[in-house]
A = this chain, B = another copy of it.
């Protein structure tokens, strides 16, 4: 198995990516090879700073340019064919690698995945899944911001994409799918939600548990939380900032009272980076998106997710599910 890693993506590229790659090869099981995509000279220079690390399962594919955060994604993909994102995704399209990971511009990774890998048949809008830490485990939020103005049929597709991800990558046998809404009853919420409820409830291959309110997320009322990318993105970013706020609150209290309390475990629970990158689900390939501010351990986690997705044939599973979903009535 070969995993491509955009070495030029993060805010501190390629330092973070190289450190993450070395860490992944040292700590993760499996015999995958990492293909670092980016400026060969800079990557070599970074690797030279880790003289003890084995180079055996590391390759470099040169990509001289970089898509910057502010660039219009679709345009950048067209104009920079030699960028690490376009080169990395093209390697996957050509079958040279099995997955692509990037901490670069989310918009560009998404646009590139759509243009180069293409959506799977039956998927109108690939969506970003993100794992949220909850009271006793985690919940997959889909969509975390790839799509706004989604239609109910898109939300149904998100439910199937998320279900398979939760099963294949999170190890949940029969994932409970919830629809983010502002009330529990089927008729609650906006027009989109009411219609989506009907579609989800009518889909026999989904373990649909109904509407889940904002307060039900942390209480793990579902394993897969389906929502429009607007609400998903707001929730995700809000959660991150609240977590940081809360840790600061406790820290200040600890300092003020000279109490001794180890906050590392709490900080870790709330540390999204432990949960690795966010998959772009619904494209014909494995694309994992990381925060621009990712530390090396987030890169390691993303590599683990990518390896698992390939090992577990996630894309094939999604394809099979959606083929059944879009098959003419009576054949399913």
- Number of A residues near B (Cβ < 8 Å) is 50
- Distance (Å) between the CB of A261 and the closest chain B CB? 4
Contact digits for A242-267, partner B, Cβ 8 Å, 1 yes 0 no: 11111011100110010111110110
A254 to chain B, nearest CB (A): 6
Cβ of A189 under 8 Å from chain B = yes
Render A224-238 as a binary contact track against B, CB cut-off 8 A, 1 for contact.
000011110111111
For residue A253, give the distance in angstroms from its CB to the closest CB of chain B: 6
Q: Supply 6 further A-B pairs (C-beta < 8 A) apart from A148-B191, A193-B230, A246-B246.
A: A148-B182, A215-B237, A231-B234, A238-B239, A246-B270, A253-B265
Cβ 8 A contact of A239, one of B180, B213, B242: B242
Contacts of A253 in B (CB 8 A): 261-263, 265-266
The reply to whether the CB of A145 lies closer than 8 angstroms to some CB of chain B is yes
For the complex of A and B, the 7 pairs showing the least CB-CB separation, nearest first, are A214-B237, A214-B238, A148-B190, A215-B241, A182-B233, A215-B237, A214-B234
- CB A287 to nearest CB in B, in angstroms, measures 20
Taking a contact as CB atoms under 8 Å apart, the answer to whether B189 and A148 are in contact is yes
Q: Which of A5-51 contact B (CB under 8 A)?
A: none
The verdict on A219 contacting chain B, using a C-beta distance below 8 Å, is yes
A243 to B214, CA, bound (A): 12
Q: List 7 A-B contacts (CB under 8 A).
A: A182-B230, A214-B241, A215-B237, A217-B238, A253-B261, A253-B266, A254-B261
Q: Is the interface of A mostly helix, strand, loop or mixed?
A: helix
How far, in whole Å, are A263 and B250 apart by their CA atoms in the complex? Answer: 8
CB <8 Å contact, A238 and B238: yes
Which of B180, B191, B245 is in CB contact (< 8 Å) with A234? B180
Question: Is A173 interfacial (CB 8 A cutoff)?
Answer: no
Contacts of A135 in B (CB 8 A): 245, 248
- Which one of B218, B234, B236, B246 lies within 8 Å of A241 (CB-CB)? B218
